């Protein structure tokens, strides 16, 4: 890619950029207010990816005891296929492991083969299906989990 990708914790001033990413990537994006609210909780870990000081991707995770749930992983469409999503997942899982998280769960659209392959790189495995979980378009969610002790 030739450009340095920086992964860091999300800050208040990143909320508008994250909202833009939400709108570009999801049919039912989070509101600016909802994005800002996540910064209030110690259990919420949201990371952003920066290229040339521009926020181009983010990943959210919510920790509950020794488990965590991924909220979203998103990268601006024109910045995909450059390893940004992989860097976000790697750093987020590393931080979760440091906080004694053992298991991470996520939902992904059944048709999102690229994301499923990304998660499989980090030893996520399908454990269940949620029928008609996603709207616009209506689609099933594959529920995946990873045991962080198996991830290097």
Q: Which one is catalytic: 13, 119, 134, 139?
A: 119
Burial environment of residue 35 by CB neighbours within 10 A (0 to 12, 13 to 18, 19 or more) = buried
Torsion, Cα of 93, 125, 130, 34 (10° steps): 10
Q: Which one is catalytic: 19, 22, 50, 107?
A: 107
| 91 catalytic residue (yes or no) | no
In angstroms, the CA 122 to CA 145 distance is: 10
- Stated as kind and residue range, the H or E segment containing 13 is none
**Where are the extended beta strands (E) located within the chain?**
5-9, 44-51, 54-64, 67-75, 103-109, 125-134, 139-147
| 110 catalytic residue (yes or no) | no
Q: Which residues are catalytic?
A: 107, 119
């Amino acid at each position: 890619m030739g450009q340095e990708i920086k992964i860091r914790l999300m800050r208040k001033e990143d909320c508008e950029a994250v909202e833009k990413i939400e709108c570009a990537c999801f049919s039912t994006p989070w509101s600016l207010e909802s994005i800002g609210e996540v910064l209030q909780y110690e259990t919420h870990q949201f990371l952003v990816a920066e290229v040339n000081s521009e926020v181009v991707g983010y990943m959210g995770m919510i920790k509950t005891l020794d488990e965590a749930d991924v909220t979203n992983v998103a990268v601006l469409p024109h910045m995909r296929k450059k390893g940004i999503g992989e860097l976000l997942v790697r750093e987020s899982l590393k931080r979760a492991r440091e906080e004694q998280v053992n298991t991470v769960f996520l939902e992904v659209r059944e048709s999102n083969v690229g994301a499923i392959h990304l998660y499989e790189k980090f030893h996520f495995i399908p454990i269940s299906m949620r029928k008609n979980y996603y709207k616009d378009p209506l689609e099933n969610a594959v529920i995946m989990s990873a045991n962080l002790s198996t991830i290097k």
